[in-house]
Chain A
């Protein structure tokens, strides 16, 4: 369970996040949509404890991210936007380092490493330095790092950005198959992804939540409002439409 209560974040004169409140319960896969600079990544950085909110509070699995940061962080797996990792390490050593930090020992560590490596198909690059990997592989290493300790909460900032179609499919399958006792928050610019994996979609624009509903419901509203019926069950054009109408005001 994640409970977010009226959080804001300012960078100088920029208001990146403006009094956002929402909660996510176990089993939900929440998708953040929104134009560039809307505040999606900033919101995620606050949930994961990288940035403290200027106002408001965030609870992750019952732990306040500012008052009990370690407990909150233990429950979170995070794929940062830039997918930064230690470039001077080989993949195997890097993941092993993360496992050690996460207190995974012996058998448990071995199983965790095996499953993350298989899931992200990293077998071929295990002994390659991360800085020499292609962009997609770097992201896959960072994803493996995020899912390694089988966290209750997964925060993935544009998880499929830069992945090849096979891996995109693989990652979506992974998110879909995550057992129902988890919370997943992803951000994406690919609207079909929201329809494919998310149980709930939230559109953020200019630091505010402008829509929060199931992907189907969002599409239905849009269809009723503007679009002709011919799209039938394909929700993609409808999602596109609702995205454009709701965020139109915030585009500079």
Chain B
């Protein structure tokens, strides 16, 4: 089962500085939405609000019909954040406590990210890319219904990056999980995204709403500072081009 995501009037302020919004978005159930933007524009903040790690100052977020449990959301952080005292397989099992098929799920997730050989290693024995793959496996193992990914492939070499992108797409086609993925990488955005939201900021606002059928040139143009929709707080500039279903809430 997949869940749609409604965001209305979402805003986040740190101290006196607004870093996000106000933002209105509707993400269709069973789609991959990619958020792309320059460093510091507010992408992680948006994802943290979606994942319930940050309390927004204003606005609302509704996921599905509202009965989604915490455990049904998978979150891949920008850093691996593995528990240094647990082996890789125990880290992957972190979200599976008391699960009847725990070992099978762990083995399955490790196979997806290609870490079967590393199952009994400690995090300090992993390379950066291996740690990132272990973190991805940890998020996938419970088979979440909504997956939030913050630059999950940034520390990987091009080969494992491509294979993991394909794995993610495979999972997506199989389960039709709703995904929100953050990236810096234009090729990755065009490979994975059903929909590509270009963010500029801070404060983070959506300045362009593209699809996988758009060209890289168009994406690049939207990413230019002031390329499409200036980053300033202009009303309407952040509004995506698709109709805002969130308005109907």
Decide whether A and B assemble into one complex: no
